[in-house]
DNA sequence: ATTATTTACTTAAACGATTAAGTGAGGATA
DNA sequence: TATCCTCACTTAATCGTTTAAGTAAATAAT
């Protein structure tokens, strides 16, 4: 059982002290080292396959409390379904995590993922692992918010509307995205546009998107009607259900769904009711999930660059670690309409029948 | 800037030594502690909000080289598309990671995810972070295999066919799964069954599934024909292409696709060619991705329990950490056919036309 | 020629835990 | 009464780094 190679071994091999090894490896400007010594140390490092011990580094660096200690950033992603252990199943989370991890890695950080267990809160994990920062995705841990603040490390909330303007925030302008989608339909001649979403009760994403929908209508002088708002849950099934209800109302010519998964369900629902997409009914979704491209017809939707979200979140963390006095940031990732085949023009509704 | 609470603080508060604090918190049977002292220490821990410093624990525990040091297990997931930074985009990886993380957490471990960068190989990360184990998903790091062995920690390969029988293995019996799928079609009266897959050149998953396809045919006395094997890449697009080719051959009544994404593409391809699924063409896929349930018609497929895979992988790691002499394990997660609407019976092919 | 400065190191303390070895008090045993 | 345990602790070494402070030699300044 070979013991690990330590800086002491490198020092012995190179004929110097461990301090010199450290100075060479961290090339501090506070300490000059001769080129020959540098070369000797580097040779020894290569020869012995030395890799510094992060635990020792974390431990000793905890003295000067600025800079990153552990080079470890935690990511918390909520459970998508209560009681289920599938925390990262949401396809978004994979992409997000992917870019978070990549951005961390090229900056010399690593990512620790974790949910929370009854025995250990995330605040405890953060203390235990000396986390340099935390990214919290899609939730607001209200009960422990003061504990998080006490940690005194950069924290970024992603896709979270319940901000108390203490932590950094990264998200999309959902209201603007909904405006884009609705406006796109209006510009295609639609006036009776239904809105399908998950619950708009909480002041979250769905509520914001409802506001954007109203903004667009009002911007074009179209009256908003609660009759056209269908609110259930974010699911394929609800998309079908809502579409079947909407089919009853012959005036409606278009639908804005606040999630692609709802929109794809709606396509199925309208089909069942004998409507042709996009001839009889135009649909715009939100998110641009993989399925949007594969749907029949392919779905016009509001695309959010999830990769950019992750990148922005991690870059915020790292910037804040390096300059601890940085003010709170609020970053909004741009949204764009992706035009596909689920929307058609209406020039004159009366004549088209 | 409040300094972190250390065991020294707890000791002072409780009026004991740090050793006593450690003995209380780790309740070793080698050292007896009085109930009163135990209570005093526990009170101090609660009062001060003390959480042990993992870095210090890792460092000191590195002396006795058995047990886990860092309570950290690394997970490597390959890049799905070369050059892209989206390492976890594959929807499978989300589920897998989810159950890996959960299983780790309830056993007192944490999960570090990482790809590899030019500057730092995964072996270096493992040394640097004192990883207690590694789970490698879907690839075989042949160039560094000896480096991995030298790490002397439990390593589990998931979904990897290039094993040298040194590391643990967790996967599915792909050959058996393909057998199940093909046999299911045969039992529905089909004889001319096409096989669509990604590349079968490498001795990987696709090759195994081809063998299972042949097993089923030969088991029922049906001749295998290379004419019926369509090998391209694992994509929706290739599914369309293959289906269009298959449509030319009027004898073929069924298709086994080695991935749901191919199968869903094939459905689209057959539609384009004017065939009705499942009346004119039966299709069975593999994997049971989310899309399989949503397809039109919904896809009959071979389901693998990805959650079990992750659980098994992490349990192997943890078991092996606790008993380092454990022999190599080879775990196969059961596969099952999920019956949906993409397969129909053929009683007599000639009469049906 | 003497002193001051710079260069290129080394020494040693510290981070926060674990644990083998040591200690003193009290009870049991010879 | 002297010796030996056992109990319930404490002491101190250790893990592998970093870095302030120290040092000796070479060079520069006076």
Instruction: Annotate A140-197 with DSSP letters as a single string.
Output: --GGGHHHHHHT-S-EEEES-S---SSSEEEEE-HHHHHHHHHHHHHHTT--SEEEEE
A72-172+307-334 homologous superfamily: Response regulator (3.40.50.2300)
Which positions on chain D have an atom < 7 Å from some protein CB? Answer: 7-12, 14-21
Per DSSP bridges, beta strands A282-287 and B110-113 are unpaired
Quote the CA–CA distance of B49 and B4 in Å, as a whole number: 10
Per DSSP bridges, beta strands B335-338 and B300-304 are antiparallel
Return the minimum-mean-pLDDT range out of A79-93, A164-178, A297-311, B54-68.
Answer: A79-93
* DSSP letter for each residue of B297-312: SPPEEEEE-HHHHHHH
Q: pLDDT tens digit string along B183-240? A: 999 999 999 999 999 887 766 788 999 999 999 999 999 999 999 999 998 889 999 9
pLDDT recorded at residue B84: 52
A297 touches B: beta carbon within 8 Å = no
Residue ranges, CATH 1.10.260.40, chain B: 7-52
Cβ A42 to strand C below 7 Å: no
* pLDDT at A82 > cutoff 50: no
Query: Is it true that the peptide bond before B186 is cis, omega within 30 degrees of 0?
Result: no
Contacts of A28 (CB under 8 A, 6+ apart): none
Whole-prediction pTM: 0.89
Closest residue to D20 measured CA to C1′: A30
Which of helix, strand or coil describes residue A250? Answer: coil
What are B50's two structure tokens?
């003390």
Nucleotide nearest to A127 (CA to C1'): C16
Residue ranges, CATH 3.40.50.2300, chain B: 72-171+307-333, 174-304+338-352
Beta strands of A258-311 (E only): which ranges? 282-287, 300-304
Q: Of the candidates B104, B171, B184, B103, which has an alpha carbon nearest to the alpha carbon of residue B137?
A: B171
pLDDT recorded at residue B253: 96
Which of helix, strand or coil describes residue A125? Answer: helix
Q: What is the CATH number of domain A174-304+338-352?
A: 3.40.50.2300
* pLDDT at B82 > cutoff 50: no
Please report residues of A whose CB lies closer than 8 A to that of B2: 150, 152
The strand D neighbours among A residues 49-68, by Cβ under 7 Å, are 50-53, 56-57, 59-61, 64
What are B286's two structure tokens?
């593999």
The fold adopted by the segment(s) B7-52 is 434 Repressor (Amino-terminal Domain) (1.10.260)
Contacts of B146 (CB under 8 A, 6+ apart): none
- C15 C1' to B25 CA distance, Å: 20
Alpha-carbon gap: A19 to the closest alpha carbon of chain B (Å): 19
Please report residues of A whose CB lies closer than 8 A to that of B125: 110
CB contact under 8 A, A54 and B55: yes
Cβ A8 to strand D below 7 Å: yes
* pLDDT at B265 > cutoff 60: yes
Residue ranges, CATH 3.40.50.2300, chain A: 72-172+307-334, 174-304+338-352
Quote the CA–CA distance of A121 and B253 in Å, as a whole number: 56
Q: What is the mean pLDDT of chain A?
A: 90
CB contact under 8 A, A291 and B294: yes
Q: Is residue A269 within 8 Å of A243, Cβ to Cβ?
A: yes
* pLDDT at B1 > cutoff 90: no
Nucleotide nearest to B3 (CA to C1'): C15
What value does the mean pLDDT take over residues A45-51?
A: 97
Which of helix, strand or coil describes residue A75? Answer: strand
What are B99's two structure tokens?
């159950």
The fold adopted by the segment(s) B72-171+307-333 is Rossmann fold (3.40.50)
A260-272 helix and A236-248 helix, angle to the nearest 10 degrees: 50
Cβ A25 to strand D below 7 Å: yes
Per DSSP bridges, beta strands A168-172 and A155-158 are parallel
Cβ B55 to strand D below 7 Å: no
CB contact under 8 A, A101 and B94: no
Among the partner residues B72, B94, B101, nearest to A91 by beta-carbon distance: B94
Return the minimum-mean-pLDDT range out of A87-96, A172-181, A220-229, A236-245.
Answer: A87-96
Quote the CA–CA distance of B76 and B313 in Å, as a whole number: 13
Q: Is residue A320 within 8 Å of A133, Cβ to Cβ?
A: yes
């Amino acid at each position: 059982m070979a013991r690990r190679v330590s800086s002491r071994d490198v020092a012995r091999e190179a004929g110097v002290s461990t301090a010199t090894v450290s100075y060479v490896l961290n090339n501090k400007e506070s300490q000059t080292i001769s080129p020959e010594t540098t070369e000797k140390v580097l040779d020894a490092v290569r020869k012995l396959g030395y890799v510094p011990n992060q635990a020792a580094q974390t431990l000793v660096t905890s003295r000067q409390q600025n800079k990153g200690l552990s080079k470890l950033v935690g990511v918390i992603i909520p459970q998508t379904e209560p009681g289920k252990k599938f925390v990262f199943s949401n396809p978004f989370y994979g992409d997000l995590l992917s870019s978070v991890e990549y951005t961390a890695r090229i900056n010399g950080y690593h990512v620790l993922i974790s949910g929370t267990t009854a025995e250990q809160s995330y605040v405890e994990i953060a203390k235990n692992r000396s986390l340099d920062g935390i990214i919290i995705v899609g939730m607001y841990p209200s009960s422990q918010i003061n504990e998080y603040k006490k940690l005194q490390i950069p924290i970024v909330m992603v896709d979270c509307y319940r901000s108390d303007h203490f932590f950094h925030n990264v998200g999309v302008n959902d209201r603007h995205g909904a405006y884009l989608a609705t406006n796109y339909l209006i510009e295609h001649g639609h006036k009776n546009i239904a809105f399908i979403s998950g619950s708009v009760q909480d002041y979250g994403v769905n509520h914001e998107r409802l506001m954007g929908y109203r903004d667009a209508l009002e911007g074009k002088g179209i009256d908003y009607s609660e009759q056209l708002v269908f609110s259930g849950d974010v699911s394929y099934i609800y998309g079908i259900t809502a579409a079947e209800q909407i089919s009853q109302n012959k005036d409606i010519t278009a639908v804005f769904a606040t999630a692609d998964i709802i929109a794809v369900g709606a396509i199925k629902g309208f089909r069942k009711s004998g409507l042709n997409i996009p001839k009889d009914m135009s649909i715009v979704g939100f998110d641009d999930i993989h399925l949007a491209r594969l749907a029949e017809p392919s779905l016009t939707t509001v695309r959010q660059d999830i990769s950019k979200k992750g990148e922005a979140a991690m870059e915020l963390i790292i910037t804040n670690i390096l300059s601890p006095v940085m003010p709170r940031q609020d970053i909004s990732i741009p949204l764009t309409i992706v035009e596909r085949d689920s929307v058609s023009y209406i020039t004159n509704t009366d004549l088209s029948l």
